[in-house]
Amino acid sequence: MTSPGKDHVPRMTAQPASGGITDALWKLFASIKLTLVLLLSLAVTSIIGTLIPQNAEPAAYVAAYGEPLFRFFWVLGLFDMYHSWWFQVLIILLCANVVVCSVDRISSNRKILLVRRPHFQAARFSNLPDRAGFEDARPPAALQALYAPYFSRKARAVQVEPSADGFRMFGENGRWTRFGVYTVHLSVVLLLVGGLIGSLFGFDGYVSVPEGDTVQQITLRNSGERLRLPFAIRCDDFSVSFYETGAPKEFRSSLSILENGQPVLQKDIIVNDPLRYRGISIFQSSYGSLPSDEAVLSFTSRSTGLVYSRQARVGAEIPLPENLGTFRLRELRHDAQFRGHPVGDAFIGTLTPPGGAPEEIVLPVRFPTFDRMRRGEVAIAVDEFKERHYTGLQVNQDPGVEVVYVGFVLMILGCYVTFFMSHQQVCIEVERKGARTQVTVSGTANKNKAAVERRIRRLAGALAGLK
């Protein structure tokens, strides 16, 4: 039973045959046929969610597929397919499958996996294809004294057994590598458990913060509900820089974390470098500009030629000098039009001359002389205005991430061990043949036969060289 070459041990269920249904269920979940079916079902059904855009507006779906098909897809949950009940059931089944199968295998193979002193059978080595040999003049007893300490350093569980004309020495390596595949299976379970923890105890939301503003509530991505954070986030500054090509180079938000109104942490975040505070992570995800509400305007009086500079706020009325009336800034319009022509960003305002009718004034930011064409008593221009940005932050908490990351590490280690390492057993057979001693090294492994072959050749070479 301990030979590594034999993988297909007779199947026994680990559970005592307690009764019909549990037994049948255990057998079902211990079966690899189920695994193949589940893996292929997951592969095929996953395709659907890539063909149908997920989580869009119902109206868009109706427009694309028509009402009847929309209803049918809706019932099947195809618009949020990866969270639909049947997809989750497939995943849970896979998880149960991998757990039951592994437990079943470990318990029925425990004699191979957990044995302390393996029992080696000489017969199993006698006709293995992988062998290397040489002759030595010294008698077996002398060789045994030489080989035993050397081999004990190179292999584990070394045992010596006398034979008719000499001795046999057995040893093994890498029994633990048999756990590699269970490590992979455990990692799959950890990924799913970590994902579950995240979806039960975490949240995923977003918030836009205008420069200078402070927020404490975010919007949750999947439900649209509002969530109050245990601290407030203030955006002190946002900047975006561009390459010469016009492609964005960096988005940077300077954020402060406030507790009870007091700043406790200050950090600049950029994409790929978030801020983490009290288990909550804040990521740079988007940005935009806000309608500016402040500008510095210049008023040029036609009669005197004097220029007056005034700070103006949207909505506030400012009295003009030289009794020219009043001016009220109404809004900043992106892509403004003037008599049907696009003029880009422009402030719109109302000029009310003394005793006259109010008049709408368009002040394109890019053309400071624009208003002179109106030939009014006063020409108005935008001297300066600061565009205000808001930063789009992704705010989330995922207490399952650590579990998932442990799963990642175990999956990589487990796959490496499973694929590239093996459990190897080696037999050194030493026999007196007339005046000489024949030494034969043979070996076997549960996989990766090429590696055993190399190992046997190296071992035979090393033994031949021992003095």
Partner 1 sequence: MTSSVILSAVTFIYGFAGFLYIFAWVFKKPAAGKMATGVAIFGLAGNAAGIGMRWVESYQLGFGHAPLSNLYESLVFFAGCITLIYLVIERRYANQVIGAFSAPLACLTMAYASLSPNISDRIQPLIPALKSNWLIAHVVTCFIGYGAFAVAFGVSLMYLFKQSEPDAASGMIGRLPTLEALDELTHQLIVFGFLFLCVGIITGAVWANSAWGRYWGWDPKETWSLITWFVYATLLHARMTRGWRGRRIAYLSIIGFAAVMFTYFGVNLLPGLHSYQAMSK
Give contact residues for ligand HEM (rule: CB under 6 A). 32, 35, 94, 97-98, 101, 105, 181, 184-185, 188, 415, 418
Q: Is 89 a binder of partner 1 (CB under 8 A)?
A: no
166's CB contacts (< 8 A; 6+ apart) are: 140, 429, 430, 431, 432, 437
- CA–CA distance, 174 with 452 (Å, rounded to integer): 12
Q: What share of the chain is helix, strand, coil (3-state, %, to 5)?
A: 35, 40, 25
Report the alpha-carbon distance of residue 456 to residue 467 in Å, rounded: 19
For residue 283, list its beta bridge partners.
Answer: 394
Distance of closest approach, residue 35 Cβ to partner 1, in angstroms? 6
Q: DSSP secondary-structure letter at 357?
A: -
Instruction: Rule CB under 8 A: say whether 243 interacts with partner 1.
Output: yes
* 402 touches partner 1 (CB under 8 A): no
* Cβ neighbours, 10 Å, residue 142: 12
Identify whether the C-beta of residue 353 lies closer than 8 Å to the C-beta of residue 171: no
Pick the binder of partner 1 from 179, 231, 308, 408 (CB under 8 A): 408
Please identify, among the stretches 229-237, 282-290, 333-341, 369-377, the one whose residues bind partner 1 according to the rule CB under 8 A.
282-290
Q: What's the CA gap between 416 and 183, in Å, rounded?
A: 10
- Print the binding letters for residues 283-302 with partner 1: x by CB under 8 A, - otherwise: xxx-----------------
Q: Which is nearer to ligand HEM, 94 or 235 (CB)?
A: 94
d(Cα 283, Cα 25) in Å, to the nearest integer?
45
CB of 221 to partner 1, least distance (A): 10
Among 25, 64, 69, 92, binds partner 1 (CB under 8 A): 64
Residue 97 touches partner 1, criterion: CB under 8 A:
no
Give the list of residues 6+ apart from residue 409 with CB closer than 8 angstroms, or none.
187
Q: How far is the CB of 408 from partner 1 (least distance, A)?
A: 5
Considering Cα of 261, then 264, then 267, then 273, what sign does the dihedral take?
negative
DSSP assignment letter at 123:
H
Is 114 one of the binding residues for partner 1 (CB under 8 A)?
no
167 touches, from partner 1, ligand HEM, none (C-beta below 5 to 8 Å by class): none
Using CA atoms, how far apart are residues 208 and 392, in angstroms rounded to an integer? Answer: 4
> Strand, coil or helix: what is 233?
strand
Instruction: Tell me how far, at minimum, the Cβ of 237 lies from partner 1, in Å.
Output: 17
Q: Supply the minimum distance, in Å, between the C-beta of residue 109 and ligand HEM.
A: 7
The C-alpha R_g of the chain, in whole angstroms, comes to: 39
Nearest approach in angstroms of CB 189 to ligand HEM is 9
Q: Which position among 1, 24, 25, 60 is part of the footprint of partner 1 (CB under 8 A)? A: 60
Chain positions contacting partner 1, by CB under 8 A: 32-33, 35-36, 39-40, 42-43, 46-47, 49-54, 56-57, 59-60, 63-64, 82, 195, 204, 243, 245, 247-251, 270-274, 281, 283-285, 394, 396, 398, 401, 404-405, 408, 411-412, 415-416, 419
